[in-house]
């Protein structure tokens, strides 16, 4: 399939723009996206926010990809959403102005519809691949997180670290706060330049903020995060 956000945007528009109903945290990168997404969602839930989490891939069932408050979307909820989306999907695919919807685009739309239906405060979104043309890249995130970037999906994203970093930095939106893992210089430069170009605030782990592990057990992990002002 060709990568074009306009077809998923067309579907979401027909559904009433569910992707714009909640505050968003968007996560891209090569390594650790899923773990970071789970930790962010857990922290938001523990802070009293109703939180949706969208991740990929899944281990056993498609339902693992879509959660609210840590609970998988139920089979009944998923079935009802599929029935609701089906006529709109058929219209978009029949017109095929920008091509036919992919499975990942359909799942992403399902996730947004589920989150909106549950009135979530935050939606934590893990990029499927890349960033710039990923189906999740249709929101206006308050926070964008970029985990460590390596040479992945080179057949699609580019043959150099800078090209791949540019695709992943494509999730950065004007005025957002960007939290980035320590990166190789080539990738770090791309992220900095992207933030500068659209007025996003960049926070780099390891320089702007550091952390210290305090201990852990089977149920939890304790750490102290120190920011620019030392705490």
Instruction: Give the number of C-alpha atoms closer than 13 A to the C-alpha of residue 125, restricted to the C-beta side.
Output: 33
Q: How confident is the model at residue 24 (pLDDT cuts 50, 70, 90)?
A: very high
pLDDT tens profile 42-70: 999 999 999 999 999 999 999 999 999 99
* H-only helix segments in the chain: 5-14, 33-46, 75-95, 103-117, 154-157, 161-168, 185-198
Cis peptide upstream of residue 57 (ω within 30 degrees of 0): yes
Q: What DSSP assignment string belongs to 79-118?
A: HHHHHHHHHHHHHHHHH-BTBPPPHHHHHHHHHHHHHHHT
CA atoms within 13 A on the CB side of 156: 14
Q: Taking the CB of residue 160, how many other CB atoms lie within 10 A of it?
A: 13
**Structure tokens that stand for 193 in this block:** 């330049």
Domains and CATH numbers, the chain: 5-227 (3.40.1190.10)
What's the mean pLDDT in 79-95? Answer: 97
What pLDDT, on the 0 to 100 scale, is given for residue 2? 79
- Size of the chain in residues: 231
- Residue 230 clears pLDDT 70, i.e. is over it: no
The three-point CA angle 201-204-209 to 5° equals 105
pLDDT tier for residue 1 given thresholds of 50, 70 and 90: low
Least confident range from 90-94, 119-123, 144-148, 218-222: namely 218-222
pLDDT at residue number 227: 82
Would you state the pLDDT for residue 141? 98
The arithmetic mean of pLDDT across residues 129-155, rounded, is 92
- Average confidence score pLDDT of the chain: 94
What's the pLDDT score for residue 111?
A: 99
Residue 129's nearest CA partner among 107, 147, 153 is 153
Residue 99: band (very low, low, confident or very high) from pLDDT cuts 50, 70, 90: very high
């Amino acid at each position: 399939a060709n990568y074009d956000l306009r077809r998923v945007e067309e579907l979401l528009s027909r559904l009433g723009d569910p992707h714009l109903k909640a505050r968003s945290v968007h996560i891209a990168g090569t390594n650790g996206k899923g773990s970071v997404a789970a930790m962010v969602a857990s922290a938001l839930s523990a802070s009293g926010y109703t939180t949706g989490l969208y991740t990929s891939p899944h281990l056993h069932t498609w339902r693992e990809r879509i959660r609210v408050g840590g609970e998988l979307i139920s089979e009944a909820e998923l079935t009802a959403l599929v029935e609701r989306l089906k006529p709109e999907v058929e219209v978009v695919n029949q017109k095929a102005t920008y091509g036919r919807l992919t499975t990942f685009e359909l799942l992403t739309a399902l996730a947004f519809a589920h989150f909106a239906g549950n009135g979530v405060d935050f939606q934590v979104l893990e990029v499927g691949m890349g960033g710039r043309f990923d189906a999740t890249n249709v929101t206006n995130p308050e926070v964008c997180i970029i985990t460590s970037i390596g040479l992945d999906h080179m057949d699609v994203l580019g043959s150099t670290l800078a090209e791949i970093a540019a695709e992943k930095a494509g999730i950065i939106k004007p005025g957002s706060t960007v939290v980035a893992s320590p990166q190789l210089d080539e990738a770090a430069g791309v992220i900095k330049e992207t933030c500068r170009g659209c007025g996003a605030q960049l926070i780099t782990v390891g320089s702007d903020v550091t952390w210290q592990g305090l201990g852990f057990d089977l149920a939890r992990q304790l750490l102290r995060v120190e920011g620019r002002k030392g705490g």
